[in-house]
Amino acid sequence: MNNSTRDIDSLIELMAKLPGLGPRSARRAVLHLIRKRALMLTPLADLMQTVAVTARECLRCGNIGTADICDICTSHKRATGEICVVEDVADLWAMERSNVFKGRYHVLGGTLSALDSIGPDDLRIPQLLSRIETEDVQEVILAVGATIDGQTTAHYIADQLEGRVKLTSLAQGVPIGGELDYLDDGTITAAMTARKEI
């Protein structure tokens, strides 16, 4: 194809770089966008333009919002004494959807990783420690992934905070709706070890 379709090709190329999309699905998505120009393409372009200008990381917790301090950090309805530590903004959003936690968050921005040489200062761990100093925090909930890197990170933070606040982690066990037959051995072991009297 020559110059005049170059924009469409570039659009497909860029879309193909999104996580979850490849060249084929990017082509399908772009054709869909062009067909639904008024309903999809133009509104999407406008929204992206707006978000590119307004989106920012909360200076306190690392959540993504449109203000220097995010809605959750400024809300008067959220408990100030509890901080839930998550790896990523996506994890924070998942917690918010479940609607179970009424405190505030701290987004690490990843996990410690010797392989990728990610140390404590590459994450928002110093900021977490200084929040414990300055805010009136009673409990830190370490809601990181049950992966090796996630658990390493949890141990490191626990070491740093030991004796200064109450430290908890999410319970491990059988997911709601989960069938035993489909669970891995580690989950079954964890659920068995933490079994409760009915």
Site residues, a second copy (CB under 8 A): 1-2, 4-5, 7-8, 10-11, 14-15, 17-21, 25, 27-34, 37, 40-52, 54-55, 64-67, 70-71, 88-90, 93, 96
Residue whose CB is less far from a second copy, 66 or 172: 66
46/194 with CB nearer a second copy = 46
CB of 11 to a second copy, least distance (A): 5
Taking the complex as a whole, the smallest distance from the CB of residue 24 to a second copy amounts, in Å, to 9
Nearer CB in complex with a second copy: 92/161: 92
**For a second copy, the closer CB: 58 or 143:** 58
CB of 32 to a second copy, least distance (A): 5
d(CA 54, CA 56): 6
Q: Closest approach of Cβ 87 to a second copy, in Å?
A: 12
Secondary structure, 3-state, the chain: CCHHHHHHHHHHHHHCCCCCCCHHHHHHHHHHHHHCHHHHHHHHHHHHHHHHHHCEECCCCCCEECCCCCHHHHCCCCCCCEEEEECCHHHHHHHHHHCCCCCEEEECCCCCECCCCECHHHCCHHHHHHHHHHCCCCEEEECCCCCHHHHHHHHHHHHHHCCCCEEEECCCCCCCCCCHHHCCHHHHHHHHHCCCCC
Q: Residue 65 has which token pair?
A: 């919002």
Q: Given the complex with a second copy, which of 25 and 130 has the nearer CB atom?
A: 25
Q: Cβ 153 to a second copy, closest distance in Å?
A: 19
